[in-house]
Structure 1
Amino acid sequence: MTEPAIEPVEEHWDARVKALLKAELKRKGVTYAQLVEKLAAVGVKETEPNIRNKLARGKFTAVFFVQCLTAIGCHNIALDN
């Protein structure tokens, strides 16, 4: 009997942060195109393909995460499911 593969710890956290941001975007009804505009309004230059790639990979900085949350008007975030 083989044991299930254990997901590397870093990948688990990457996936969790990616899911948190995507959930907040969905809750606020914000598309990637709208996020580009909202980020620009707070002084952050991003393109839609860059955002799409960052979220697809789940690899982005804490700064980008907070910039996105600020841009969409998210002031609180629940870390537990």
Structure 2
Amino acid sequence: MINWGDKAKRLLKSELIKRGISNADLALMLKEIGVDETKAGIDSKISRGSFSASFFLQCLFVIRCNKIEIEQYENNSLSVAEPNVEYKRIRDGK
């Protein structure tokens, strides 16, 4: 059985890492669109993998993720590939 919460968590974490965005950065970005989330709240939601579709879409919107790719492998389980890029962190919105 596929753990969909785990798949969503891995996908969101992958997109954040790809862009060098920390959960603290994400909290600030969400606040700019009127979504009141703390870093601790985001940490908890993502680590549990239990967040709403609305939260997921809000996160993708603020990090400017316009396209996500979900790969399906022969064993019929969905997987999100870790990007093969050098990671960098955003500091002070730069």
- Give the TM bin, normalised by the shorter chain: 0.7 to 0.9
- Counterpart for residue 3 of structure 1: none
* Cα deviation, residue 34, structure 1: 0.3
Higher relative contact order (CA 8 A, sep 6+): 2
Q: Is 2:14 aligned against 1:23?
A: yes
Instruction: Compare the two structures and name the one with the higher strand fraction.
Output: 2
Count of residue pairs the alignment pairs up: 72
2:23 to 15, 24, 32: 32
TM-score by length of structure 1 reads: 0.84
1:67 to 34, 58, 71: 58
Residue segments in structure 1 that go unaligned for 5+ positions in a row: 1-7
AA at the equivalent of 1:59: S
Alignment of 1:34-49 (within 5 A): 34-49=25-40
Q: Is 2:47 aligned against 1:56?
A: yes
Instruction: Compare the two structures and name the one with the higher helix fraction.
Output: 1
* Cα deviation, residue 43, structure 1: 1.4
Deviating above 6 A after TM superposition, structure 1's stretches of 4 or more consecutive aligned residues are none
* Cα deviation, residue 29, structure 1: 0.5
Residue segments in structure 2 that go unaligned for 5+ positions in a row: 72-79, 81-94
Name the Cα RMSD after superposition.
1.0
AA at the equivalent of 1:58: G
- Counterpart for residue 14 of structure 1: 5
TM-score by length of structure 2 reads: 0.73
